[in-house]
Structure formats: C-alpha cells, structure tokens
Structure 1
Amino acid sequence: MYVFNCILGFLSLFYLLFIGKISSCSSLLYTAEMLFQMIPMNFNAHELSEAAAFLGPFCFSLFILLVLFVCMSMFLTIINDSFGTVRDEIKLNGDVDQHMFSFMFYKFQRWIGLGRLNELQRLEERDGQMGSKYLDPIEHFPNKIDKLLDALNRVYMDQIISKNDLPNLKCFSLMCCHSFQGFDNVIVRLLHRMIYLKELTLYLHIFGGSKFIAGTHLDNEILIHMPQLHTFIFYIASENVIADPTIRISNDDIQRTFTNIEHRQVAFMVDYFEPYKIICRVFSLPFKFHLLEHIGNNIPNIVFNSVTHLKLWDKDAFKYEFFVRLARAFPFLKNLSIHNIIPSFLAHNYYLRDKDWLSIIEYPHLISLDVERTYSDYVENFLNETKSYIPHLAELKVTYYALKIVTKNFTRNETRHNCAGVRQLIVEDPIVYPKDVYCYFPLLSV
C-alpha cells in the first residue's frame, strides 16, 4: 500500500508540474539524476564510516536530509505556482488528459534514460526557452538548483585531492576577503606543494584555530618549505576567542616571533573587541592591499597608501584624535564604513563634543561614506563643514532619522556644503523624499 501511494503521489506531481507547461521544470529530473550520481560517485561510504563510528554516517545522513529538504521545497513551490495554470488549461482544452499523460510518459522515459532528445529537439527546446521575453521567476528556480548542486558536487564533494608538487609554479597569489577556518589543513597543505615558488602573496582573515598566525608559524609552516622564495607580501588576520581575558597579547609579543632577519619589514595590530574576542594582524611593509576591515582605535603610526576601502568597528568611541590619525594613515581613502553606536561623549560631558574638535579634517578622495550603523555624533562629524572637508562625497548611507537631526530638517548651513555633491542617498527603508531633501541634495536623482 505504501508503494502504491508513492506511485500515485509521483503521478500527481507530474500532473500538476507538467500540465502547467513549465517546460524548464523538466530540469528537476536532471536534479534528481544528479542527486543519485553524487551519492555513490563522490561519497566514499567506507571512509565516512571509518572516520568515526557515529559521526561519519551521521554527517552523511544529514547531507541526504538537506538535499531532500531542498528538493521537496522546490517541488512544493512549483506545485503551488502551477495550480492556477492547471485550472486555466482545463477550461480551455477539453482533451488535456491525453496530452498530459503522453507528456508524462515522455518525461518519465527521459528520466530513466530511455528517451533522449535529438539535435533538432534540443534546438527547439533551447529556442523555446530563449524566445520568451518575460519568464516567470519560478521557471528559473529548478535550473538554479541544478547549478547549485553541480557546484556542490564539483567544489565540496570531491574527495580526490592531488598531493603532487607544483614544480612549474613560480608565482602565487591568494586573496580572500571573507573569514574562514582551516588555515593549516587547507592553505598550508596547498603551499607545501609549491616548493619552487619565488613570489608569494597572501591576504587572509582566519577565524578560530588553536593559535595566532605570527612569525614563528610562518617560518616553520611556510617559508622553510620555499627555499627559492624572494618576495613575500602578506596580510594575515587571526580572529580568536580567548579563554582568559586577563592575559593580554601585545605588539611586542607578536614582534618577538619574527626572529628571521629577512622578515623584519613587518607590522602588527592587536585589537580586543570584546572581553573574549581578539584579532591579531601581521602584515608586510609597505602595505600593498586596498582593503582593511574591523579596524578599531588601535591604528598604528603607518601610512597605508594603497588602502582605498576601510571598515571601522570598535566597542569604544571614536574621538577627534582618532579621526586625525585616520586621515593621516589613509590619505587615499575612497570608501569608508563605520560601525560604532557609542557616542563620543556621554551625557554629562556632551558639551565637550564641539570644543574637543580642534581643526577641520580633510578627506580629499572620499567618495562613499556609510554611517548607517553609528551614533548621530559620527554623522555630525563628517557632514559638518567646520569639522570635516569632503569635496568629492557622492554616496551617503545613513539613517533618515539621524540625517534629519544633524541637518536640522535640511535647513542647517554648516552641513549643506558636504551634502551638495551627493548623488546617491541610501537610507534604511524606501521613502519618498520631501522637496526639502532635493533642495539640500541638488544632485540627487529624483
């Protein structure tokens, strides 16, 4: 009885799916076919069971459940969208059942491999898909799933990794702007194959791990395996959770790990963002990369000429001295994003906010400013021309509430000059701006 119900459910699915004439949904068959191919071809069940008595089969089962969940969600979405089309077809065509069952039988043949498209049919199917100017987004969904599963199949499920050396590789560059885990298991193992490398560039943000990546680790795990290496440009940030917040790591502690005379042109930054969270950065000088993220009050006395994109975040407030050092350290800054909800001064010292600002800070190349996730003080610090000079600001991301406060409902003269060149104003929610906004931002698109 159970098998009979499954067969009826299968036929009902085909009825609802294909009677709607969503021809591109036939790729669901290829999705199912790919699913059955991925399991025996790319998973080694013996190795999974040998890895751990419980964990291997458990992870394998989780994968199967995840794929089945995605497929079932996809089926239900398409079925729900097809109800209206089925009803319309039945009203217009009295002989729809015969056409439907023949179509189901043909699709079933293709699914089990007995029916194949000839060249003419392939061209007709492709022309039919390309000929429609407007496609319902649901018709793209099965193809997207096909591509997703194919990517998972190629990238994550391949168990065969070559371990041979790469004797012809002389130059290698790896830049990853997103944090990841597995530096030793992935990156170091890959670099060990490049024994004849002469130039190496690394930009990495590593999350977790048992230790911070510093001089000793770089020497023992990477550089000692590359005797011909003469150029090493790097930025490596290690983000970790510390068990004991009373134990503090300083720049001097990191510097002592760089005992190799060949690598003295390095700099260090150690930031504590929470009692148990620390980011340790080591990088070569001069700095060669264009992006820095999660930078706090601890800006070193270094000029980062190459940095054009900067993201600031700290648990402590940014004050006048910080922005002075910021402008000096990043003279060619173009995109600045700030995340800090702590006011520059607390309520009892708020009268010092303007007195503390001693001079106008210039940002000659800044074109994009994101102060959406900040206290209104920082919006004031940048838009007020008595505090900041931003001649080329073209994009501003801010909360509409903070913008109204700082500009005094778009009437304040001190903030008018830095807003005059803004062409794109990004606020948290879609809004119809009043006329005063367009008068205050004359270059803003209507």
Structure 2
Amino acid sequence: MRPNLMNCTLGFGGALLLSLALVGCGGDDQQSAQQGGNQQQKPPTKAEVMEVEAHDVSLSKEYPAQIRSNREVTVMGRVEGILEARHYREGSMVEKGDELFTIEQAPYEATVKQRQADVQSAKAEVYRAQRDAERYQRLYNQNSISQQQRDQAQADLRTAQAAQAQAQAALDSAQIDLSYTEVNAPVSGMISLSEVNVGNLVQPPQELATITPLNPIEVRFSLPADDAFSLRQQRQKEDEGVADTAILTAPGTESASRDALQLRGKLDFLGSRVDESTSTVQAEAAFQNEDQLFLPGQFVRVTLPNVMRYDVYAVPSIAVTEGLKGPQVFVLDDEGKTETRFVSLGEIAGDWQIITEGLNPGDRVVVSGIGSISPGDQIDAQPFTGKVPKPQNNAGENPSQEPDAQGGEGVAGAQRDAQKANGGQNGAN
C-alpha cells in the first residue's frame, strides 16, 4: 500500500511542478510581449527641425601676415667727408627735419666762397660787355663803325651773360653740397643704430641710419583666390567699409588676465591678379599703431571678419555627425521619420556648417537632440528658433537638457541616476 501511496504523491508533485513551470514560461512570454508592445508605442521625440534654403553666410577668415612700414627711409651720406657729429640718441623717436649728423663742412664752405667769387667776376664781365655793346650801338647808328664790329660787341655780351649763369650754377651746386653736410631726418619715426661712427670717412652713397615710421603700419598677406573673389563681390554689393574691416592680432601676447594685443584697421589694397604658383591674391591692410607696440618685420595674424559666401546651404554644426561613410545629417521623410543623409562639408561660419553637396531646397534637417535620435525614429518636429543648441554629451541614459528631466548627461547624470537607484533600494528595504 505504501509504495502505491508514494507513487501517487510523487506523481501529484511532478504534475504540480510541471504546471508551475508552464505558468512561469507563459508569464515570461506575456512579459516579453508587453515589453515589445511598449517599444512599438514609444512616443515621438521632440526636436527642432529647420527647412533647408539658400542664404548668405558671413565668415571670419584669418591669415598669416608680416608687418611692414611702407614709409621707412634709409638716411644716406651724399657728400664725402669726415663724420664730425651725431645729434640723436640711437633707437629714439625723431621728428621730420631734426638734425641727425654733421659731416665736415670746411672744404665745402671754401668751395662756396670760391664759387661766389666766380659769380662776382662773371657779373663784372657782363657789366663791361654791356657797356661796350651800348657804345658800339651808338657808333653804329652814327655810321662810325661797321656792322660787324657792332655784332661782335653784342656777341661778347651774350658770352659774358652765359659765363655768369654758369658761375651761378656752380655756386648753387656748391651750396647744395654744403647743405648735405648737415643730415636731417626726412620723416618722423624711430631711428636705428648709426652705421658709421663719428670720425670715420663718409663716402657717398653710404647708409648712415634707418628711420622707421611706426604709425600707421601696413600688413601684407595673401588671400586665397576664392576669398578675394568674394571680397570683390561684396565691394560691389555693399559699403566697402564693411567688406574692408580688418583686425590684427599678435600671437603670444596674451596672458592669464589679458587677451592677445589687437589693432583694428582697414583693407586698403586687393591685388589685381592671381599668383599662378600659389593661387593667391596679394592684399594689404593699414592699422593705426598709436602705442607703437607693433614693429615692422613682426609676424602676426590678420582677420577679415566679414567675408561673405553668397547663396549657400548651411546648417548648425551640431546637426552634422560622423557616420560610417563620412559626415551625415538627419532629415525627415514624408512620414516624419528620420533618415541619414551623407553630405559634403564646406567652410565653418561660427556655429554654422556650410554644406556643398547632399542637401536640396526644402529638406527638413533635425538640429537638436541629435545624440538621442536614431534612424527611423518618429520626430515631433518643433520650429527652429534660429539659436544653435549647445552640443550634448550623451553618456547618461537621458540626454535631455531640460532642468526637470529624468536622468542626466555625462558624469553628473550618472551620479543622479545612482542616487535615485540607492534611494529606491533603501525604501524597499
């Protein structure tokens, strides 16, 4: 009897366990079905969407450049002689007309006196010839002399007058040479070290010093042909004052409490031909250097903040992501779902990215919440505000940037999620 009872008991228990197992499997299948249904019913993702259309974009372009001073002057010794004196402090600022050097004057003063004497002698000869010509004219009128004698007297007068003019020219030349013994500054600016020491012989033409005007200064640089073309278009379409604005920046002059030194100036020259070897156009900008901090020969950066690109497609840079085949954006199809579109990138204009290929007029591009969107997602399209959203760090489970959003971004989001999880466990305990 017992064996039969035990067999019945085991049979009943086995049946019970089998039923429970089947119920468990059925529960898992039902739970999986519910989860699948929840995934299919995921609400559309809110995101800003912009419609692609061509418009003008302003670029800020920067170029390497070198400072020049187009009015720099080399002071030359123009007469021979011993350098007697230097009248300036090397490296100082000099004004136009200031006396710089004195070359020995005695030989040139003696020459001037000699030429003055020659002029006086020539004047006396002219006086004598004039008197003779007048007397011969009277005698000729009285038929006392021949016409040949009268003509000779007049010729002697003209010869004497020519000799006087020649003597006067020699005197003027001697006075010019004497003036060259005092070397004055032809322009205002900073003067260099002297190239000749006092007491040495100056032999013309010999460089004595260099004067460099520091205000204003000029900067020469090369523009890509495309930028030069855009500037010419811009000059024709609008005020040159906007197109020609230039900013000079000196790299390496910034500090912890101060930005790099800058000057604001104007583009005053744009070349008329393209260099065949570099495909660039020569340009020059002028800047007021009132503090005289910038020096010729210094390498700087020149920024043209208003270089236009006309009739181009552009999207916020955050809308562009890197796909397996290159740069891509999310566009909406007719059903409002996202699909990837591979694009070719042009220049960056601040927070905007110019697109050269891949987009067509009327395409709707997703421009916010890019990190939480996947291909095929349904999008609740919101109007584009025109403000470029900040890039998102999607390390957290919920990349929303709303203050009251659940979850969070990056490390901070993970910490908030962990705190909430710990709080839930404590409550359960």
Q: TM-score range by the shorter chain?
A: under 0.3
* Higher strand proportion (structure 1 or 2): 2
* Higher helix proportion (structure 1 or 2): 1
> How high is the TM-score relative to the length of structure 1?
0.17
* Larger RCO of the pair (alpha carbons < 8 Å, separation 6+): 2
Instruction: Give the number of the structure whose alpha-carbon radius of gyration is greater.
Output: 2
> How high is the TM-score relative to the length of structure 2?
0.17
